[in-house]
Amino acid sequence: MYSQTEREILHKVAEDSILSGLEKQSALSIKLSDYPAALQKKQASFVTLNIKHNLRGCIGTLSAYQALVEDIAHNAYAAAFSDPRFPALTQREYQQLDYHISVLSDSCPMQFSCEEDLLAQIRPQIDGLIVEDNGRRGTFLPSVWEQLPAAGDFWQHLKRKAGLPADHWSDTLKVSRYTVESF
């Protein structure tokens, strides 16, 4: 979907937004007219930061509400400085960062009659999932399949991430799926 040049631009925006955070304590300011039309379209994204293959931050949006280039700048900054699992990124860590960008498709609600039916519909290595119930919500990007390749394990861990018991099931449970373009 995105050209190599567009991917490189988005990686540079993520890097520059984190650098802006280190220098100015704010995300990179984006002037949309400076970017290709494809990057100006509203699109949801996640930015994942790793250091030596270890997670260092991951923040994103599930619904498109701003231009992709703005979403990347915001999410990169937030992953570096606002992920509640980590302290704010340091200058020393900045030099070691690996960036992973995921651009999300629109999510689609899934229809299912029971947990077994839901599990049969999930597409390992393809689907990102959003679970919602009892005021709780959580998501796993498709990249999580690398750590949790079995659909049952993926599903149980996702429910726990959302603050629900691993064996939770109810008639009000909502599940949506999406795909990503990752680079």
Query: What is the crossing angle of helices 4-24 and 68-81, to 10°?
Result: 40
- Number of domains present in the structure of the chain: 2
3-state secondary structure of 181: strand
For 84, 95, 97, the CA distances from 143, given in Å and listed in that order, are: 20, 24, 18
* Residue 120 confidence (pLDDT): 97
Q: Do residue 89 and residue 13 come from a single domain?
A: yes
Token pair in block for residue 102: 């995921």
Q: Do residue 21 and residue 83 come from a single domain?
A: yes
pLDDT band per the 50, 70, 90 thresholds, residue 117: very high
Q: Do residue 82 and residue 145 come from a single domain?
A: no
What number is the average pLDDT over the span 81-107? 97
Q: Do residue 79 and residue 132 come from a single domain?
A: no
Domain end call among 84, 104, 124 = 104
Q: What is the pLDDT of residues 42-79, one digit of tens each?
A: 999 999 999 999 999 999 999 999 999 999 999 999 99
Identify the domain containing residue 13 by its residue range: 4-104
Domain end call among 104, 129, 145 = 104
- Residue 140's domain is classified under what CATH number? 3.30.1490.150
Q: Do residue 116 and residue 130 come from a single domain?
A: yes
Are the CB atoms for 101 and 121 separated by under 8 Å? Answer: no
Q: What is the pLDDT of residues 73-83, one digit of tens each?
A: 999 999 999 99
* Residue 85 confidence (pLDDT): 96
Domain end call among 47, 72, 104 = 104
Q: Do residue 114 and residue 161 come from a single domain?
A: yes
Considering the entire predicted model, what is its pTM?
A: 0.93
Q: Do residue 116 and residue 98 come from a single domain?
A: no
The residue among 178, 90, 83, 95 whose CA lies nearest residue 140 is 178
